[in-house]
Amino acid sequence: MKKILTGVLLSLCLSWTSAALAEEVNISSDIGIYSQYLWRGQAQGAGVGTAGQASVQGDIYLDLNGIELGTWFATLGNPNSSTVEFDFSAIYSNNVSDGLNVSLGYLWYTFSNRGVAASAAASNTTEIFGELAYEDYWSPSIAMYYDTKANDWWFDFGLSGELMNDFVVDFTLSYQKFKLTAIQSPIAGGKSEFKAFDISLKKDIEVNDISVSPSFTMSMPMGERKNIANQTIEFVFGVNFAY
């Protein structure tokens, strides 16, 4: 009788644990195609001759009680013959007060070498991430990234809000601070300063259980970036599918 009772209690505990995890664990994913891949205002793929080409991008995220584990990818040119970027992330988020959210995390950037020189792996790096955001009709935020390999910092000052007809607009002003040495600086002899100003506009359209989101982004280089060859105003058109 004791063994039967113990077995019943164990079964109830396992059932409760499974139900609790089922309620707390959320899995989300999406995929989209974009006219080009921009990262912090710069067209990606220049090193392999694919800058400005269309890019397929997607991700999958596992959210467990405030801890988010994710994998994101982007193609740089033809995915059958060129580089594919994979980013892995682990981020903890918490609502510290009404509308105020804090996020801390770790990002790992990796690049496949398919179809390109093995030196592409030299771009692999990791970053420590932190963000403070306030959710309201207009939502300001500040995000910080520290590159553990290049030993530099990147800051995003953002403002997001809703317009008419459920359009969402995002403004982002980016600032970079790095060591002023020829080796560590992305620009030899460069200075720490604002680097880019981005404006994004998107709209979510629900189609059955899929959210279709067409978007448009304009990125304007600032400071020294305006003096670099091929650093001009960039435009990105895309459509994303989330389910």
β-pair type (83-97, 67-76): antiparallel
pLDDT at position 15, please? Answer: 46
- Output the furthest CA–CA distance in the chain (Å, rounded): 82
What is the predicted pLDDT for the residue at 66? 84
pLDDT at 120: 55
Please state the CATH superfamily assignment of the domain spanning residues 2-242 in this structure. Answer: monomeric porin ompg (2.40.160.40)
- Select from 153, 198, 168, 227 the least CA-distant residue to 38: 198
Reduced to 3 states, what is the DSSP secondary structure of residue 125?
Answer: strand
d(CA 198, CA 218): 6
Q: Which pLDDT value is given to residue 78?
A: 61
Q: How far apart are CA 49 and CA 43, in angstroms?
A: 11
pTM score, whole prediction: 0.79
Spell out where the chain has E strands: 25-34, 38-39, 42-43, 55-64, 67-76, 83-97, 100-111, 125-134, 138-147, 152-162, 167-177, 193-203, 205-207, 210-221, 234-242
Q: Check if the beta carbon of residue 168 is closer than 8 Å to that of residue 160.
A: yes
**What is the structure's pLDDT at 106?**
96
How far, in Å, CA of 110 to CA of 121, rounded? 7
CA gyration radius, the chain:
21
Amino acid identity of 5? L
Give CA–CA dist 181/158, Å, rounded: 29
Instruction: Give residue limits of the domains in the chain.
Output: 2-242
Please check whether residue 34 is in contact with residue 237, taking contact to mean a CB–CB distance below 8 angstroms: yes
pLDDT of residue 185: 45
pLDDT tens string, the chain, 243 residues long: the values are 444 444 433 444 444 444 444 457 888 899 999 999 988 888 886 655 666 788 999 999 999 888 999 999 998 866 555 678 899 999 999 998 888 999 999 999 988 765 554 555 567 889 999 999 999 889 999 999 999 988 889 999 999 999 988 899 999 999 988 765 444 445 555 577 888 999 999 999 988 888 999 999 999 988 776 666 557 889 999 999 998
Position 190 scores a pLDDT of 58
